[in-house]
Chain A
Amino acid sequence: MLKIFSLLLLVALPPTPTLATLREVREVHFQMGTYLEVILWHHEPETAKRLIRDAIQEAHRLDAILSNFDPDSALSRLNRHAGAGSMRVPVELFELLARSRELAERTGGLFDVTIGPLMELWQKAAASNQMPNPSELDQARALVDYRKLALRRPDAAALIRGGMSIDLGGIGKGYAVDRMTNMLKASGISAALINFGASSMSAIGAPPGKTGWEIAVQDSDGRLRGAIHLRDVALSTSGSMGHGWIINDKKYGHLIDPQSGIAATETRMATVVTPSATLAEALTKPLVLIGASALRIVEKFADCEAVVIPENGAPTFSRQFRSRFSWKEIPRP
């Protein structure tokens, strides 16, 4: 009888989902001023679409909290409250501020979300086509200091000095990618790629039949320099010259050294790969600002690898970048 039952089961049970039934579903939305692409492999396209849209909605929800462009965001309210004591903030903002402050300490202040006054100064300088004068730079620099961002659990935050302001542009997308990654994993997704403006990505599992998601790494000229394979890790790429400013015919990058107050003038691209997109995005900043010498900072973090590509130069890798991610160099034409 048992044999007959087993036979019947074999004949009549529905086929379990297999690689052959997996379908790729992909949508591209626009959030946080750039595009947000989510690719999912799933047996049910309608379920996949729902999961993608839930993830997109999470990014939209976070933008409403973390944006410094939206005057109604929690971050904007905190910035307006600078110098006026502490205030309660949403848990997501608190969590990201705490992580940002920790990363500022560990990068020796090369990544610092209190960069707001310097960003504003350089934006004004570009608008008037006049370099900031030393006194303006000193004033703005005096307001940039992560140690003057006070946090008290579970949700109180304060900017100690009036005029301070936080800009989460260097970490917010990574945080959103991490949240979306967790949502998709919690829904049982085993193959997905989140691509937030090509600067923050998260690779969940691998596409069917592949060992990982193949990502091409490009340099500051837009030339593809190599390809890597990612599986269950996040990646972030930053360039010094994207969205920069031109003052007196000289180009300045949108990244500013929090200590000197000077915007980047050297062209380079940096890519960091690590399980957290939040960490990856933050760690690209020291690499872009000071170049390959910042690899020593990156290598202090567990499970974290990076590559820096200077303008017209050879890439410099952290110790295990090439071996861990199967770096395949693309020769110059």
Chain B
Amino acid sequence: MNLLGKLFRLVWLISSLGTPPLASAQEGSFLKEAEAPKAVFPDATAFERRVIRSTEELKEKIRQRLGKTKTSIWEDSYITFIAKKADAIVGYAVIVEEIGKHRPITFIVGVGADRKIKDAALMIYREAYGGEIRDRRFLQQYKGKQLQDPLLPFRDIQNISGATMSVEAIGRGSKKALALVETVYMEGTEPK
């Protein structure tokens, strides 16, 4: 191989390394089911997906555990994940829904093996957002945005200081997930 050929090969080798992959689409603001458990258990190396049917018996057991906390939604079934690291169970993740101000919020709750809620992450937030809708003049600054479109926090105009999202629904849903994990996985009373 002559010098020119060697140089070309060297440059080709360099060029094949370290190219940043071009993302094919804009990253969404919310989590998909496949990536959700990793969001709440980032150290886990494997997840076992299990669907738990929500029978009347299971609901009653969860109700008893929840005490005064009233859930706004009873799912027909729960998508759950057993999170593992080197074959040891590090926790459980449950996808739950609860009504926010008006509409359901879908999120995943990670419960540690110590029965403590480790993390929760938003998957779908459907609530319209009062402040921005009222302030249409502000929105007109955002070219290309249709004012009749429903406005979603965390997707459209996320940066509003002092505009707190209601997190009561997250609290209820987290307790529901904890009650489910305790009933099904820690006491082994999974419905048949």
Interface residues of A (CB under 8 A from B): 1, 4-5, 8-9, 12-15, 17, 21, 23-31, 33-35, 37, 39, 43-45, 48-50, 53-54, 56-57, 60, 193, 195, 197-199, 201, 213-218, 222-224, 227, 235-239, 242, 269, 271, 330-331, 333
Task: Give the residue name and chain of the B residue nearest to A41 (CB).
Answer: B27
The listed residue (B121, B159, B161, B163) touching A30 by CB distance below 8 A is B121
- Once the chains bind, are A60 and B119 in contact (CB under 8 Å)? yes
Inter-chain CB contacts under 8 Å: number: 162
- Once the chains bind, are B163 and A198 in contact (CB under 8 Å)? yes
Q: Given A37-B158, A50-B42, A13 and B20 touching (CB < 8 A)?
A: no
- Lowest 7 A-B CB distances belong to which pairs? A28-B122, A237-B162, A43-B20, A237-B161, A14-B19, A53-B42, A30-B120
- B1 touches A (CB below 8 Å): no
- Once the chains bind, are A223 and B167 in contact (CB under 8 Å)? no
The listed residue (B7, B11, B16, B131) touching A218 by CB distance below 8 A is B131
A86 to chain B, nearest CB (A): 29
B24 to chain A, nearest CB (A): 10
A30-B174, A34-B165 are known; give 11 further A-B pairs, CB within 8 A.
A12-B15, A27-B122, A29-B119, A30-B119, A35-B170, A44-B20, A57-B42, A60-B119, A193-B159, A237-B162, A330-B137
Q: Given A13-B14, A28-B122, A333 and B135 touching (CB < 8 A)?
A: yes
**A-B contacts, 26 listed (Cβ < 8 Å):** A14-B19, A21-B23, A23-B26, A26-B27, A26-B29, A27-B39, A28-B29, A29-B40, A29-B119, A29-B121, A45-B27, A53-B42, A60-B118, A198-B161, A201-B161, A214-B159, A218-B160, A218-B162, A218-B163, A222-B134, A223-B135, A224-B138, A224-B160, A271-B161, A330-B137, A333-B135
Find chain B residues with CB under 8 A from A8 CB: 7-8, 11
The listed residue (A12, A37, A49) touching B154 by CB distance below 8 A is A37
Q: Given A8-B8, A9-B11, A30-B167, A25 and B27 touching (CB < 8 A)?
A: yes
Query: B residues 119-171 with Cβ under 8 Å of A?
Result: 119-122, 125, 130-132, 134-138, 141, 154, 157-165, 167, 170
The listed residue (B4, B125, B131, B137) touching A4 by CB distance below 8 A is B4
Interface residues of B (CB under 8 A from A): 3-4, 7-8, 11-12, 14-23, 26-31, 35, 38-40, 42, 107, 118-122, 125, 130-132, 134-138, 141, 154, 157-165, 167, 170, 174
Find chain A residues with CB under 8 A from B19 CB: 14-15
- Once the chains bind, are B160 and A14 in contact (CB under 8 Å)? no
- Once the chains bind, are A199 and B161 in contact (CB under 8 Å)? yes
Find chain B residues with CB under 8 A from A25 CB: 27
Task: Give the residue name and chain of the B residue nearest to A214 (CB).
Answer: B159
The listed residue (A5, A217, A333) touching B161 by CB distance below 8 A is A217
Find chain A residues with CB under 8 A from B164 CB: 34, 197-199, 242
